[in-house]
Amino acid sequence: MKNFIDNKFNELIAEIDEKNLYELYNHMLSKFKQIPDATKRGIEDFFNKFPYWGRLNLSKENFEFIFNRAEVFKKSINDLVWLYEKLADYKSKFILFAILDNYYNFNFNNLKNAMEPIFKPYFDLDLIQNCHDEVFVDVGAYTGDSVLDFVNSYGESCYNKIYCYEITAETVSLMKQNLSKFQNITYKNFAVGNENSKKYIKENDHSSSANLITDYGEKEIIQVSLDNDIKERITMIKMDIEGGEKEALRGCENHIKNEKPKLLISVYHNNTDLFEIPKLIYSFNPSYKFHLRYNGNCIFPTEITLICL
């Protein structure tokens, strides 16, 4: 017997699956046009600042991001079903349903119900109740906010060592100030990827948190892989690096295979990470159990975390 979450997901998938690409696009576009104009403009402004999912230009009627999402539905629906079946709890399954329902119907209500009201981002106490002597690697540590959440959630004895990777030098300086009272933290002004190499920083005009790594440019940065850069056993990895998560995960494949660290990975910086990242991790080590948690807003799905234990 299926429960109501299974039924809702299966009904949504069946409706999506019976449509061709242009039927999907037209359905999604019609739903988008029904939302309030102020909300549409807010999404457009957000996309102009953080262009991860495709273009949206209301005045020119460019709805590329909707077409991109329709293509994902058409090409990757089996991957979405695979992910649903691999999720280990019904909160995660509802979150996935709510995200897809938002993509397809621009339904804000289910996404609102999926939002995490209690726990800090990445640190769900129902999934990870206690931490002791962790070797915690924060990839995309920004100003130290996730480290502070980690310590505040589990206490200062929760870790033995913390590594903080951040590409923007000014942000690293601010992070050191914010975390100055804590011991045994190593700060690394490096990019993290699948190999050691030279890369470049593409700065975002609106927030240094959205700075990107590219192959060409003017502002150089050293890129390392975690397999090469950290030789001790890692017990927990958090990643939030603006779409670079897959390459960074490939660069710590040996740690994942051999040590099975807890993985706390952002999966919203493009249209396919939601299912491609868990499939990648599963290929490294199929013993992981997958969970989703949602700390975004009810309008457009961001701040989606894959927790692998």
Closest by Cα among 247, 250, 222, 226 to 237 = 226
Q: What's the length of the chain?
A: 309
Q: What are phi and psi of 179, to 5 degrees?
A: -110, 20
* Structure tokens belonging to residue 220: 């150089």
All structural domains of the chain, each given as residue ranges with its CATH number in brackets, are: 4-114 (no CATH), 134-266 (3.40.50.150)
pTM of the entire predicted model: 0.95
Cα–Cα separations (whole angstroms), residue 67 to 23, 51, 70, 161: 11, 15, 5, 45
Q: End-to-end CA distance of the chain, in Å?
A: 27
pLDDT the model gives residue 1:
67
Give the per-residue pLDDT at 41.
97
Helix (H) or strand (E) holding 292: strand 290-294
Classify residue 158 by its DSSP letter: G
pLDDT of residue 211: 80
User: Residue 244: what pLDDT?
Assistant: 95
pLDDT score recorded for residue 232: 98
Question: Residue 214: is it exposed, middle or buried by C-beta count within 10 angstroms (0-12/13-18/19+)?
Answer: exposed
Distance CA 225, CA 232 (A): 14
| Alpha-carbon span 119 to 126, nearest angstrom | 9
Mean pLDDT in consecutive groups of 10 residues from the start of the chain, 309 residues: 93 98 98 97 94 95 97 98 98 98 98 96 97 97 98 97 96 97 97 93 76 83 97 98 96 98 97 98 98 96 97
What confidence score (pLDDT) does residue 101 get? 98
Residues 6 or more apart in contact with residue 123 via CB below 8 angstroms: 149, 150, 153, 154, 264
